[in-house]
A and B are shown apart, each in its own frame.
Chain A
Amino acid sequence: MYFDPNENLIYPLYALSNWVLTTGGLMFVVLFVSLANLLVTRGKSGVGVFFAEIRGMISDVFSISPRRIWALTRLTFMEAYRRKALAVFVVFAVMFMFAGWFMGDTQEITPDQVKVYVSFVLTSISWLTLPVVLILCCFGIPEDIRLRSIHTIVTKPARRIEIVLGRMIGVSMIGVLVLLVMGTVGYIWIVRQTPERSQKFLVCRVPQYGGIKFINRDGDEGTGVNVGDIWAFRNYIEGATKARAVWQFRNVDESVLDADGNLQLENSFSAFRSYKGDMTRSLFYDIKFYNPENGVSYTTDPQPVNEFRSKLDKIPRKLTVDDVQYDLIKDLVTKNKFLHVEIACIDREQYIGMARPDLFIRMPNRPFWVGYWKAVLGIGLIVVLVSMIGVAASTIVKGPIATVLTFVLYVLSGKNSHQFMDALMSGDFKGGGVLESIYRLVTHMNPTTDLPETPAFYVVKGFDLILTSFLWLCKQVIPRLQSFNMTEFVANGFDVPFNVSILPSLLVTTAFIIPCVMLGYFALRVRELESK
């Protein structure tokens, strides 16, 4: 794994409070923007209108009719069909007909090749589905307003909130339908593309991760060595010294053993040689299990590092140390069900690198389709989220603008852009805000050089601070889609964990429902439907 799967870990207990916080924050933003809009457009009377609309909305919520919503959903469906949205299947078919041309030779298929297949299928499914959904959700209501067909609806007993909900559900359902078809075809394509003898690579491993800490060469707690990699994901331990990587696994009992009673420990350690030495011989590590409560320990024979591939070490339950037999679970696991595992590098002046997910207890595999469909679910949740944001945006602005707005929000919702915005707001980002960056670009000033301490630059920094504060406000509206991308788990042969990926994604998606519906309702109530 090249990322820490626990980055997005949410404990179920905190899930509800997280959801309330996100929804509440978004609702506040929506209400604040609506009130500001009414104050600007209608002056003092805007306050009255605002509260009247809130009352109206609450009343509408209690009079929602599922029948009317379903009718509007069907209408959205019919519209999409007439607009030939399903022509996306033609593009999909063409892509999959020729995809094999671009992707390696199936004669020498490896787990890496399978990774490419899975990534391709899931990426192309999302790239094809999202534009369709984006256009459908952003152009539906504006088109109704332009053609004045919305009058036919609003003059019926259908309420504004039902129109918004109907559109959202309709577009989401189209997206999900497209996704289901493409997901099924994609699954068949992956299975067919992988030869019979390589089908074993299509698995969903279920890992149980532990916490990691490093011991440095003197035996003190440390951080491991950086061997000069640009990507400092892994830390290295030096061979034939006291340097160790220590994992602590929770909840270890008999249930983690396989059918033969072995503990399956899988690793993907990295090797770094400070001198080449005998290149035909791998670097070696050993695994030590110890129980700090009773002082019992067991060290395995040296094992070769299998770099950039996984290596499975099966540890038998019955272990013999100095002619005394120990039980792995009874003697080496603490009373609180903790298992301590120490990794050491055997070779002098050589290094072995590892990060937290590089060692885990491997539980029984799940079928590939389980992880695959979970990843499709992740895409489905993005589709639903985009539909809601798109429909809400289309109630305020015209179709093309709503499309661009939703697309920009989607682009900005990735991990990198959130990290960039965080760095910009916290001041960690070198080079400053908008004005400061412009000044530095024009004058070719290095980002690490301090600005002159003059009044003009205080003004520049002050202006940037205002803009950055505005950015903070905008950031609250931009969803975090980091956990939605479940492709990486499946492509790397892992199951998609519920509390790391599915739960956070579900929370983000549902957190946007009420604010988006509210926004759509307010916009449709307040705006002039006659204006095209």
Chain B
Amino acid sequence: MADRRPKVVGFCCERHAMDAVVLSARTGEQVDVSVRLVQVPCTGRVDGLHLLKAFEEGADAVFVLGCLEKNCYYDTGSIEGRKRVNYVKQMLSEAGIEKERLEMFNAASTNTWAFPDAVSRMVDIARKLGPIGGGERQ
């Protein structure tokens, strides 16, 4: 299991979350290369279907990274994002899939630690839980 590279998908808003991602890269923070980033205009644009599709297409863990809830560029986008994440977590749980595979994080533009922290948490979860269904990774 240790040599397997987990598949983690991250939906990041192009405002404060992407700023935090870029800033963390500039400061030399290292992140696991297993993560695939999807840039979205706002986490309010992330739909439950996007999150489920990521799992359907083979993701082991998915996270959404948006602005701080009281400092969202579009005011309430990251609150909408969190609501959808919670709804899909409930659906996963109903379907017998570990809801820890999906998480929502928030970051300010200057939080250099936020993105690496989110990635390492999700990679740890993906490693711990393994792929959905236990199949071989592609």
Pairing of A with B = no
Chain A residues at the B interface, C-beta cutoff of 8 Å: none
Residues in chain B within 8 A of chain A (CB atoms) = none
